[in-house]
Amino acid sequence: MKLWDKGFSTDKKIDIFTVGNDRELDLILAKYDVLGSIAHAKMLHKIEVLSEKEIDAVESKLNQLLKDIEKGNFTIEDSFEDVHSKIEFLLTEALGDTGKKIHTARSRNDQVLVDMHLYLKDEIIEIKQQIKTLFDVLIAKADEHENVLLPGYTHLQVAMPSSFGLWFSAYAESLIDDVYFLNAAYKIADQNPLGSAAGYGSSFDIDRAYTTEILGFETLKYNVVAAQMSRGKTEKALASGMSAVAGTLSKFAMDICLYMSQNFNFISFPDELTTGSSIMPHKKNPDVFELIRGKCNALQALPYELTLITNNLPSGYQRDLQLLKESLLPAIQTLKSCLEMMVFSIENIIVNETILEDKKYDYLFTVEEVNKLVQEGVAFRDAYKIVGAKVEKGEFKPNKEVNHTHIGSIGNLCLDKINDKMKNAL
């Protein structure tokens, strides 16, 4: 069944090419299509298109469908083009002419927009909850290992003292920036496009404010053309937020891969969280983190991918927009799985507390020595030369006592402030 069926058949090749994998993806959106249909039906009743008896019957059938979807008992067979046609068919099959009225003052264009806006709102909330879980783990680890020193690097050269407290909480605070991106995407998604129909409104006196309230949107997209133009923009906004999260996870995963190697040996994990080699019995490979890195690097291409699909489209609906789902919906699940695996792994991380006993890290403390001379009255540039000369002659003896007290430094992580910052972001 096709909602646009005019009584003649479409060539099978055309059907396969144009529908693609929409049926599979639409199963994810089915719940939201029903919710949108309930709101639309209530509005049709309010403007007296549906009678009291008809709205009761429609709501009852749609609520039954909602339960079927939640139980996993809803399918979209090949005979149906998409979720919209399947739901309308079931309504018509059960209610006859009453079911046929559900599409009054509506188009598949605003149906899919409503579905996507509602779906993306829920997914953003879920992603933010997962980020908060990872954030809490990182803050807890920062607190637990606050005083364990860790070499800091610039240009991949030994540079200055850092700490595990600083390292863990750095990634925790970076996640707050990612939440800001997701908040912006949520703000864009939280606008009701229902009532824009095919993109130019309707001659029916529909009540768009009413459906906005029923569906829980903060506001509506007032201009009907602007509502249609939000398709693509909303997806790109979320893709940018996801890309930000992926960038943080990818960098963190790269650190972990480095720090797990024998050359660094800063951290380790229980054997069950690593993999072995088929021929080298000593290997403990960071496969989980390599895959997080690879998947998250691919996710960072998503905003550009969606831009290339949409950047030269005119206003009004174009079939190109269907392709957005193929990229975005699987990407959302990928990001969520990466967040889940990162939480699971970091909860089990093992920190090496004796890293700085290795002589090669003695030069971490040259800046500490320079700063000590400056505090004793030596000009900075002269102090720099004095310490540099000791290094050159092999005479530098480090004092490994670190006393950093300013805001955000090794000795003052401000974990409570970072916690408050995340609470405000959420």
Q: Where are the domains of the chain?
A: 12-103, 108-151+162-203+221-356, 359-425
Our measurement of the distance from residue 105's CA atom to the centroid of its chain's CA atoms, rounded to an integer in Å, reads 34
CATH number assigned to the domain covering 108-151+162-203+221-356:
1.20.200.10
Q: What is the pLDDT, as a whole number, of residue 8?
A: 47
Is residue 280 packed enough to be buried (19+ CB in 10 Å), middle (13-18) or exposed (0-12)? exposed
CA distance 28 to 116: 10
CA distance 369 to 359: 17
pLDDT tens-place string over residues 102-160? 999 999 899 999 999 999 999 999 999 999 999 999 999 999 999 999 999 999 999 99
Closest CA to 25 of 335, 323, 340, 229: 323
> What letter would DSSP give residue 272?
G
Longest dimension (CA), the chain: 95
pTM recorded for the entire structure = 0.91
Low-confidence ranges of the chain (pLDDT < 70): 1-21, 274-283
Contact indicator for 195, 201 with CB cutoff of 8 Å: yes
Backbone angles phi, psi at 278, to 5 degrees: -75, -20
Q: What is the pLDDT, as a whole number, of residue 270?
A: 84
Q: What is the pLDDT, as a whole number, of residue 4?
A: 44
**What six digits make up the tokens of 128?**
């933010």
Contact indicator for 232, 321 with CB cutoff of 8 Å: yes
108-151+162-203+221-356: same fold as 12-103? Answer: no
Q: DSSP 3-state helix, strand, coil percentages of the chain (rounded to 5)?
A: 65, 5, 30
Contact indicator for 358, 265 with CB cutoff of 8 Å: no
Q: What is the pLDDT, as a whole number, of residue 228?
A: 93
CA distance 279 to 257: 21
Q: Which fold has domain 12-103?
A: Fumarase C; Chain B, domain 1 (1.10.275)
Closest CA to 370 of 384, 389, 358, 391: 384
Q: What is the pLDDT, as a whole number, of residue 316?
A: 87
Contact indicator for 406, 199 with CB cutoff of 8 Å: no
**What six digits make up the tokens of 267?**
């951290």
